[in-house]
Amino acid sequence: MSDIRYSLSQNEMPEAWYNLPADLPEPMAPPLHPGTREPVKLEDMTAIFPENIVMQEMSSERYIPIPEEVRDIYALWRPTPLLRAVRLEKALQTPAKIFYKYEGVSPAGSHKPNSAVAQAYYNREAGIKRLVTETGAGQWGSALSMACKLFGIECVVYMVKVSFTQKPYRKLVMQTWGGTVYASPSELTEFGRKVLADDPDCPGSLGIAISEAIEDTVKTPGTKYALGSVLNHVCLHQTVIGQESIKQMEKAGCDPDIIIGCVGGGSNFAGMVSPWLERKLKGGKQYRVIAVEPSSCPTLTKGELRYDFGDTAMMTPLMMMYTLGHDFIPPSIHAGGLRYHGMASLVSQMYKLGMVEARSYGQLKIFESAVQFARTEGLIPAPEPSHAIAAAIDEAVAAREEGKEKVILFNLCGHGLLDMTAYDAFLGGKLTDEA
């Protein structure tokens, strides 16, 4: 029997998160206050986040211990498996070895609970009773609904309206875990009412939903806000992925040449690659690291590096990031997720400093790759990590053409069993690439 699965025991789970900002050759530009345009102070941020999370957001400690209670919950699905895609390799007739880290084994089916559990814990520690957030496809909202329930906190989710309508199962998953879900734009906030007055059929966007969630937070006592990507502390929590993958690749006896992840706001990518970049920065192997995004939301490959708001209503601090503009809404034909207009400052800095590469793919290629993966490896991937699969396939084909035995590692950050509407559109020939 050939080895295809590299598991770790529970006591091999990381004990600390790795904070890449501590090792960056050039520090990130600080977030700015939207009014004064001065670097934000702790007091500015504590209007929406508890102090313990703000401290983590601004931390320059290299390793931050993972609290015992958080590790106890992680143990429900962590360490996650690392697999070798031998049947995909065979179908591609490539000499390359393709490995993937699989985060779809979490209760919510994605990497999102890695941060949701940590954030719910710190909010509970800070005495917060109610957490408000936004969600696009519903992955983050479901992860936070679960995490809040496990820590005895109320969870309120503003869900982008197109997803609310097109993805009823994710809404039900949130409700099953006790979350309260509203379609955004909603009539519940001043900003939502304004958007609806201008355009009653507005499909919503992450930017609008963030604005609604923040307005709810500042207007409701005892409430804080939680974000599922983009911010440093979210990227930090995801570094359990990359740390485990290092141990597992050692067990497999292979050092990767190429490491790949998909990017929306940037958290699963940062979590996967930061621990590898630590090695690269400290004189280790010069891994090629690739971020993959949709060509209909090409933040890194076509965006501009500048200060921009995280939301549509311009309420968040200004962050230095690659951005398509805070009012960007991807075309409605886009089914592949990864719709956020900006990119984590941390990932933007990696890209600016040349530590990582970026590329984009159209959605037809994404779903072709997803289906090829499902038909060789069994697993049905979410559309988002299918961007990483497409890049892994391209690199494996390039290795075949060059006759080189490359080792490719990618993050399969979630399964696609609740994304069948998008698969239906693809299989039914209804998906097109944007002109």
Ligand X SMILES: *Cc1c(COP(=O)(O)O)cnc(C)c1O
Stretch (H or E) spanning 290: strand 288-294
Instruction: State the nearest-atom distance from the C-beta of 188 to ligand X, in Å.
Output: 24
d(CA 278, CA 24): 9
Q: Does 310 bind ligand X (CB under 6 A)?
A: no
Q: Does 117 bind ligand X (CB under 6 A)?
A: no
Residue 377: partners with Cβ closer than 8 Å, 6 or more residues away: 83, 85, 87, 88
d(CA 173, CA 107): 10
Q: Does 167 bind ligand X (CB under 6 A)?
A: no
Instruction: State the nearest-atom distance from the C-beta of 385 to ligand X, in Å.
Output: 6
Q: Does 382 bind ligand X (CB under 6 A)?
A: yes
Interface residues for ligand X in 338-377 (CB under 6 A)? 338
Q: Does 264 bind ligand X (CB under 6 A)?
A: yes
Q: Does 237 bind ligand X (CB under 6 A)?
A: no
Return the CA Rg of the chain: 20
Interface with ligand X (CB under 6 A), residue from 179, 204, 266, 298? 266
Per-position x/- string for 39-78, each x denoting binding to ligand X as judged by CB under 6 A, each - no binding = ----------------------------------------
Q: Does 263 bind ligand X (CB under 6 A)?
A: yes
Instruction: State the nearest-atom distance from the C-beta of 195 to ligand X, in Å.
Output: 23
- CA nearest neighbour of 53 among 135, 123, 153: 123
Q: Does 114 bind ligand X (CB under 6 A)?
A: no
Residue 149: partners with Cβ closer than 8 Å, 6 or more residues away: 155, 177, 178, 179
d(CA 245, CA 8): 10
Beta strands in 19-120 (DSSP E): 63-65, 82-84, 97-102
Q: Does 229 bind ligand X (CB under 6 A)?
A: yes
**Residue 94 vs 119, nearer CB to ligand X:** 119
Contact 148, 180 (CB under 8 A): no
Q: Are strands 258-262 and 288-294 parallel, antiparallel or unpaired?
A: parallel
Q: What is the residue whose two structure tokens read 């089914």?
A: 335
The phi and psi torsions of 240 (rounded to 5 degrees) equal -60, -30
- The site that binds ligand X (CB under 6 A) totals a number of residues, namely 19
Per-position x/- string for 267-306, each x denoting binding to ligand X as judged by CB under 6 A, each - no binding = xxx-------------------------------------
Interface with ligand X (CB under 6 A), residue from 260, 365, 414, 431? 414
Residues engaged in binding ligand X (CB under 6 A): 110, 112, 139-140, 229, 262-269, 338, 382, 384-385, 413-414
